[in-house]
Each structure stands twice: as structure tokens, then as C-alpha cells.
């Protein structure tokens, strides 16, 4: 049983993110996440993970008692990690618009790297066959993102960069919905440009209709 898992030696970003996991556990999480994002929760087995990591399926159970546990750990980590990236990118960008562009490029990178979708979108689609614990964590993930976007958008309005009707929160929901939907469409069309152009147009629209 995984009583009190301690880390051995991980580096840089991982250091702070996966502090509670040792190297094997991290590898399991990495592989599992890639599998969920490309095939969905019900689209892979413990065997798939074991083969890729080079361990036996029983070893996975040592770290994550059930598949639901594994999924829950996955979303928790994803949420945390994306939060850190949002913070980093907020510091790096000089304008609200630039912040939104960098943010959308996080999602674009998923598509480009491995034809993957957002973990949250994937698990929400399969919500009906998932442990409620996973579903709850997924909902929090959406809330996180919309809140952050609403803040950025409100900043943009204050600074005069953005002009729009409705509330910043509503605009945030709209933008996030469009990004998630655009990822689906880009995967269906096998064309990352589909995502990029939609993302760009959405951000442009925030600045008012006059400019293209």
C-alpha cells in the first residue's frame, strides 16, 4: 500500500509539482495523462501504461489503488500545473491581449505535440462513466480557468484594451467555450490552424468590432 510516498530525484518544474510522487509514480501519471488526452479514460488499460513505462500492471495499483484514483490524481495535477503556467505567463506578458494569446497557445501546444485534447474536456465528455470524485475535480478545473480569464478580461477593459457588452465573466465563459470547442474542431479537421484562427478571432473580437 502507498502509505507515504516520498520523492527521490526529479528536476525543475516537476520538483514542485510532483513533490508527493517518486519517479515511477510520475512516469505513470505522465503516460496515463497522454493516454487520457488522446484516447479518453475508457480508451486505455493498465496494460497500456505498464508497457510504456516498462513495469507490471500491479505496480500501478501500488501507487494508485484504482483507475478512478489515478484519474483523480491526474486532474489534480493538471489543475495545479496549468495554474502555475497561467501565473508564469501572466508575469511574462505585457498586455491583457498578449496574456490571452499566450494562454491559448498552451492549448494549441497540446494539439501540435500529440494531437491531444484538454484533459478537462476529455473527462467531462466521459463524465457519466467516471467516479464522482473525478467529475468534481474537473468542474473545479473549468472554474479555475474561467475565473482567471475573467480577471484578465476585466483588466483589459479597465485599461481600455478591450471593449465588450456583458460582464467579464460572461466573456470569459464565451472565450473558454470557444477554445475548447475549437480544439475539438481542429482535431476533427486535422488542422491546428483551425484552432489558431478561432482563438485569434475571439481575442480580436474583445477589442471591438472595428479592427479585424
Partner DNA sequence: GGATTTCTATCTACCGGTAGATTGAAACCT
Partner DNA sequence: AGGTTTCAATCTACCGGTAGATAGAAATCC
Which residues are near a copy of itself by CB under 8 A? 38-40, 42-44, 115, 117, 120-122, 124-129, 135, 138-139, 142, 163-166, 170, 173-174, 176-182, 184-185, 187-190, 194, 197-198, 201-202, 204-205, 208-209, 211-212
State the helix-helix crossing angle for 23-39 and 96-114, rounded to 10 degrees. Answer: 90
Smallest separation, CB 23 to DNA (Å): 7
Smallest separation, CB 202 to DNA (Å): 36
Phi, psi angles (nearest 5°) of residue 178: -65, -40
- Nearest CB to DNA, comparing residues 24 and 124: 24
Is the separation of the CB atoms in 137 and 76 below 8 Å? yes
- Nearest CB to a copy of itself, comparing residues 63 and 162: 162
209 touches, from a copy of itself, DNA, none (C-beta below 5 to 8 Å by class): a copy of itself
- Nearest CB to a copy of itself, comparing residues 28 and 202: 202
Smallest separation, CB 171 to DNA (Å): 39
Smallest separation, CB 115 to a copy of itself (Å): 7
Which residues make up the interface to DNA (CB under 7 A)? Answer: 2-6, 8, 22-24, 44-48, 54-59, 61-63, 65-68
Which alpha helices (H) appear in 40-167, and where do they start and end? 46-53, 57-63, 67-92, 96-114, 119-125, 132-159
- The three cell numbers of residue 183 are 480544439
Cβ burial of 116 (10 Å; 0-12, 13-18, 19+) is buried
185 touches, from a copy of itself, DNA, none (C-beta below 5 to 8 Å by class): a copy of itself
38 touches, from a copy of itself, DNA, none (C-beta below 5 to 8 Å by class): a copy of itself
Close Cβ partners of 4 (under 8 Å, ≥ 6 residues apart): none
Close Cβ partners of 150 (under 8 Å, ≥ 6 residues apart): 167, 168, 169, 171, 172
Distance CA 2, CA 38 (A): 28
205 touches, from a copy of itself, DNA, none (C-beta below 5 to 8 Å by class): a copy of itself
- Nearest CB to DNA, comparing residues 46 and 141: 46
Smallest separation, CB 143 to DNA (Å): 27
Distance CA 33, CA 25 (A): 12
Amino acid at each position: 500500500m502507498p502509505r507515504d510516498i516520498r520523492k527521490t530525484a526529479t528536476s525543475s518544474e516537476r520538483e514542485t509539482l510532483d513533490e508527493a510522487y517518486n519517479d515511477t509514480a510520475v512516469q505513470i501519471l505522465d503516460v496515463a495523462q497522454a493516454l487520457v488526452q488522446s484516447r479518453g479514460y475508457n480508451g486505455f488499460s493498465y496494460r497500456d501504461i505498464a508497457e510504456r513505462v516498462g513495469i507490471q500492471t500491479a505496480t500501478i495499483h501500488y501507487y494508485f489503488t484504482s483507475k478512478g484514483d489515478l484519474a483523480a490524481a491526474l486532474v489534480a495535477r493538471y489543475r495545479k500545473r496549468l495554474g502555475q503556467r497561467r501565473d508564469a505567463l501572466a508575469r511574462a506578458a505585457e498586455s491583457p491581449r498578449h496574456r490571452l494569446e499566450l494562454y491559448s497557445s498552451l492549448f494549441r501546444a497540446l494539439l501540435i505535440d500529440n494531437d491531444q485534447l484538454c484533459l478537462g474536456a476529455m473527462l467531462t465528455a466521459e463524465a457519466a462513466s467516471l467516479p464522482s470524485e473525478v467529475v468534481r475535480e474537473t468542474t473545479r478545473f473549468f472554474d479555475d480557468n474561467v475565473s482567471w480569464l475573467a480577471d484578465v478580461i476585466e483588466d483589459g477593459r479597465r485599461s481600455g484594451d478591450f471593449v465588450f457588452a456583458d460582464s467579464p465573466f460572461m466573456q470569459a465563459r464565451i472565450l473558454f467555450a470557444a477554445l475548447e470547442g475549437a480544439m475539438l474542431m481542429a482535431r476533427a479537421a486535422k488542422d491546428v490552424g483551425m484552432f489558431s484562427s478561432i482563438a485569434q478571432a475571439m481575442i480580436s473580437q474583445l477589442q471591438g468590432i472595428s479592427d479585424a
